[in-house]
């Protein structure tokens, strides 16, 4: 997986590295560091002058076969639910149905520790932990970015050695890396992964944020603001002097997903989807709610939840009284939320053109996004025609009556 570059060895095939940091955590000489590439993604770099060639970094990688990377064959459990948290305040503040909090609250109540992704002071994303209910609030809500792991895996191992319960929430690749590092499935470790579309470049995100508020300091970010409901949520950013709020479906930044313009390369061929999930529980949006659970949907937040293990089932049973739920079919999740089973293919011609323009530094960032993600003249005309038709429909109905 590695290639030589000066005194460092670096990843040669970027599609086979999710940046999980298992190799960093296991290195006995601490000679591996995570370094950002030209797209802003973190990759391991080995200082070859300090390396003793023990190969632990290679063996721990979740991109090599292992019982802790692949779902055990004897584990047949796969129970699917549509559900939401009965606590309406937590449900509203969550991206979907507030499922993370109901599990996290339980672990905290039992004296455990919860790990998750949180914004740092610059509104990049890092993995950290909480030991109180108040500390859990920073983990709530979606964050479509690669989180810096730091010493997370080492800390998880320390807490488990102390006999404490640990809830680790993250992407499937991060959980696979954690289990490879631990080399066991500790009874006190509970892992919840998300139905993930992919991780955006931290560099591009910060560029976008600065383009919106060049002369202001950002105070708060909500990627999935339910002010317009779960189904049609908005991105809301509060700055020192103004507020930016726009429906996700209209936002130019999110339009990049359909082309993979600034997703991590490994996200195009993710091996930690489908039925190969080594987590105990998977949670995500319950799209297709009109068929799956129409009686439960009120646009306040509804989650799909898939239980993969007996540990996951025991955790679910412990909080079931705090949920409204119904058992559903896994086939419906796969149909209506296809990110559960497949990766998003990149449009390489567009991706290459975007990054070429980005590295030239010849235009403001807003212009760069508009050039590569803005509506074409044809799309603008079609959009205008649709608006005109929508305005005329009530008049046409009156004339017919």
Spatial distance between the Cα atoms of 39 and 58, rounded to a whole number of angstroms: 24
Query: Which residues neighbour 300 within 8 Å (Cβ) at sequence distance 6 or greater?
Result: 84, 88, 91, 92, 226, 229, 230
Residue range 270-281: mean pLDDT, rounded = 86
Quote the Cα angle for 227-229-235, to 5°. 55
Quote the Cα angle for 70-71-75, to 5°. 155
Q: Which range (63-67, 135-139, 153-157) has the least confidence? A: 63-67
pLDDT exceeding 90 applies to what percent of the chain? Answer: 74
Residue 72: per-residue pLDDT: 60
Mean pLDDT, the chain, integer: 89
Helix (H, G, I), strand (E, B) or coil at 148: strand
Sign of CA pseudo-dihedral 287, 291, 297, 302: negative
Partnered with residue 194 across adjacent β-strands are 283
Q: Which range (20-24, 46-50, 208-212) has the least confidence? A: 46-50
Burial class (CB in 10 A: 0-12, 13-18, 19+), 391: exposed
How many CA atoms lie within 13 Å of 192's alpha carbon, on the beta-carbon side?
A: 24
Residue 75 has pLDDT above 60, yes or no: no
DSSP secondary structure code for residue 345 in this structure: P
Q: Count of residues for the chain?
A: 401
pTM comes to: 0.89
Residue 76: per-residue pLDDT: 60
Residue 376 has pLDDT above 70, yes or no: no
- When pLDDT is cut at 50, 70 and 90, the band that residue 13 belongs to is confident
**Residue 44 CB neighbours (<10 A):** 24
Residue 155: per-residue pLDDT: 98
Residue 355: per-residue pLDDT: 96
Q: Of 18-27, 254-263, 339-348, 367-376, which one has max mean pLDDT?
A: 18-27
Q: What is the pLDDT of residues 351-371, one digit of tens each?
A: 999 999 999 998 999 999 999
Residue 67: per-residue pLDDT: 64
């Amino acid at each position: 997986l590695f290639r030589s570059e000066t005194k460092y060895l670096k990843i040669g095939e970027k599609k086979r590295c999710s940046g999980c940091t298992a190799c960093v955590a296991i290195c006995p000489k601490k000679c591996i560091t995570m370094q950002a590439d030209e797209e802003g993604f973190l990759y391991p770099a080995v200082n070859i002058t300090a390396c003793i060639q023990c190969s632990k970094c290679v063996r721990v990688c979740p991109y090599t076969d292992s019982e802790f990377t692949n779902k055990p064959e004897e584990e047949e459990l796969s129970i699917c639910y549509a559900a939401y948290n009965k606590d309406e305040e937590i449900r509203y503040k969550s991206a979907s149905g507030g499922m993370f909090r109901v599990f996290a609250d339980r672990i905290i109540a039992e004296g455990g520790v919860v790990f998750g992704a949180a914004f740092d002071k610059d509104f990049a994303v890092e993995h950290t932990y909480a030991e109180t209910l108040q500390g859990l609030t920073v983990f709530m809500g979606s964050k479509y970015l690669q989180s810096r792991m730091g010493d997370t895996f080492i800390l998880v191992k320390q807490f488990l050695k102390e006999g404490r319960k640990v809830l680790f929430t993250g992407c499937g690749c991060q959980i696979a890396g954690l289990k490879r590092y631990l080399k066991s499935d500790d009874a006190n470790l509970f892992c919840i992964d998300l139905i993930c579309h992919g991780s955006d470049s931290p560099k591009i995100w910060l560029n976008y944020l600065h383009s919106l508020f060049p002369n202001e300091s950002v105070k708060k970010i909500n990627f999935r603001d339910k002010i317009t409901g779960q189904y049609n949520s908005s991105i809301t950013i509060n700055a020192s002097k103004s507020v930016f709020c726009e429906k996700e479906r209209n936002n130019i930044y999110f339009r990049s997903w359909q082309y993979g313009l600034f997703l991590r390369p490994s996200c195009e061929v993710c091996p930690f989807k489908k039925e190969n999930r080594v987590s105990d529980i998977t949670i995500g949006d319950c799209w297709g709610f009109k068929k799956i659970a129409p009686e439960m949907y009120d646009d306040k937040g509804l989650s799909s939840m898939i239980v993969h293990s007996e540990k996951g089932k025991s955790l679910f049973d412990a909080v079931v009284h705090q949920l409204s739920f119904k058992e559903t079919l896994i086939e419906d999740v796969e149909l209506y939320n296809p990110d559960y089973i497949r990766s998003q293919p990149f449009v390489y011609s567009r991706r290459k053109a975007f990054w070429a323009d980005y590295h030239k530094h010849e235009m403001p960032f807003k212009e760069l996004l508009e050039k590569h993600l803005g509506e074409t003249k044809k799309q603008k005309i079609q959009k205008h025609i649709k608006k005109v038709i929508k305005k005329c429909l009530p008049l046409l109905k009156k004339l017919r009556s």
